[in-house]
Amino acid sequence: MFNTGELWTKMLFWRSKNYLMGAGSPAGSDTDVSPMGIVQGHAYSILDVTTIDSHNLVQLRNPWGDDTEWKGAWGDKSDMWNERRKKSAYERTKQHTGRVEEIGKADGIFWMSFNDFYRNFD
């Protein structure tokens, strides 16, 4: 389903219909955090899916709402973000949800590539 693009297409459709989406990290104790910042055995909310500059991205929220966040590409501290991309993500979030969030804030909300999402969540 991943290789065909079917999952990405479904997630875009579900987002367009405002469905609630979530994802679970691999089994483990919720005191275990991967080196990349994913809490094991934990449920995450999927807040958004979008494409920015031909990169398919997923926005997630750690329910703890703390600074335990994805540390890889597209994470809050990633050099993938430039000012134009940050503004695009900010405007999209504000338009679709009314939330005002800034990339880099230790709030448990982060972006990651769809490929990384697929590798890190069940």
Residue tagged 């910042």 (tokens)? 37
Supply the mean pLDDT for the chain.
Answer: 89
Strand, helix or coil for residue 39 = strand
CA separation for the pair 117, 108 (Å, rounded): 15
Please give the model's pTM, rounded to 2 decimal places.
0.89
- Give 38's pLDDT tier (boundaries 50, 70, 90): very high
Per-residue pLDDT of 79-108, as tens digits, reads 999 999 998 888 877 777 777 677 888 889
42-46: average pLDDT: 94
What pLDDT, on a 0 to 100 scale, did the predictor assign at position 94? 75
CA separation for the pair 92, 33 (Å, rounded): 29
Choice between 67 and 122, residue whose per-residue pLDDT is larger = 67
What pLDDT, on a 0 to 100 scale, did the predictor assign at position 119? 93
Question: Above 90 in pLDDT, residue 67?
Answer: no
